[in-house]
Amino acid sequence: MIWLLILQLIALIILISVSASLMARGTEELEKTFGKGIAGGLILGFINSLPETIIVLFAVLNGSYDIALGSALGGNILLFTLGIGFVSILYYAKYKSGTISLDKDINIEYNSFLMALVIFIVAIIYGRLNYYIAIFLLSPYVYYVYRRYKNYRSEIKIGGNTIRGLTYVLAGGLPLIFISKYFITTIIDVATIFKMSPILLAVLITPIAAELEENLTAIKLILDSPSSATTALMNFIGSKLENMTLLLSIIGLSQTISLRPSLLYLLLIVAVSVLTLGIIRDRNIKINEGLSLFGIYALSVAILLRFSA
């Protein structure tokens, strides 16, 4: 049984790697037509958020609002710590540069996410996610799409093959809707056989599994070109912006829920988000900052394990 699960896990990792490679290739092609922001932040961010979106929709329809909330925000801490940290290390190893210099264009993602974070903090203070908070949460994403479109209109286009780019992105992204589910289930089955605690599964194992494809896509982008580091970061922020705005809005528009039971986790998301925004504020990610994010992740997990036990 265990060997069958391990073989299944290996096969799924290979499939996810292939999907990530296709998505990265498609994104690079779409960049030529739409620019990094729309290609990385909007299109790739949307595709990467599809699994969470579907889970949230099904959870809301079934009245499982706690699951919906967890699915919407599950990867924020991991992606903004381990994800960005690993990107900085990979960049250093590949290009022998201790600093990732991000394009000025990433300010759109930065400002949009900052707006969303402020509204998210207001929701935490209020203690509930309801119809009115949901409407407010939609505004940063609407602003983001508007700014991206406006920026696209003013950019000089190189001219890429849009059909080819979309084909690659969809060919890699759509199967992830199904692959991700089985991958996470397999991870949980393997962990259960090894008698890992449910808390460890929820806090550590499941988020890593859920965000694997996004990290693999970032790896492929960076290995292809140093300038694609900006695209990778746009994807990280764009996908989590969508989760914090659109997905939370779906929940709030459907049902008023209390945020008090998840207060510790939500506060950690805020803390990690603030620290991450602080790091990328000057559009430079230094290797020591990337390494520090690993420590922040370890601390976050330790806090969750300590107070969730």
CATH of the domain at 21: 1.20.1420.30
In contact, 305 and 203? CB cutoff 8 Å: yes
Instruction: Tell me which H or E stretch contains 284.
Output: strand 284-286
Q: Which domain holds residue 152?
A: 2-308
Q: What is the pLDDT along the chain (309 residues), one digit of tens a residue?
A: 677 877 887 888 888 888 888 888 888 888 888 888 888 888 888 887 777 777 777 778 777 777 778 777 878 888 899 999 999 999 999 999 989 999 998 999 999 999 999 999 999 999 999 999 999 999 999 999 999 988 887 766 666 678 888 888 888 888 877 787 777 777 777 777 777 665 566 566 667 777 777 888 888 889 888 888 998 999 899 989 998 999 899 999 988 999 998 898 899 999 999 999 999 999 999 999 999 999 999 998 888 888 865
- pLDDT value, residue 159: 67
Q: Rounded to an integer, what distance in angstroms lies between the CA atom of residue 85 and that of residue 70?
A: 23
In contact, 34 and 50? CB cutoff 8 Å: no
Residues 6+ apart with CB under 8 A from 41: 108, 109, 144, 148, 234, 235, 237, 238, 241
CA dist 301 → 10, 125, 251, 290, 295 (Å): 26, 23, 26, 17, 10
- pLDDT value, residue 118: 96
- pLDDT value, residue 156: 61
| Full-model pTM | 0.88
In contact, 74 and 207? CB cutoff 8 Å: yes
Complete DSSP assignment for 188-244:
HHHHHHTT--HHHIIIIIHHHHHTHHHHHHHHHHHHH-TTHHHHHHHHHHHHHHHII
Domain count, the chain: 1
- pLDDT value, residue 199: 56
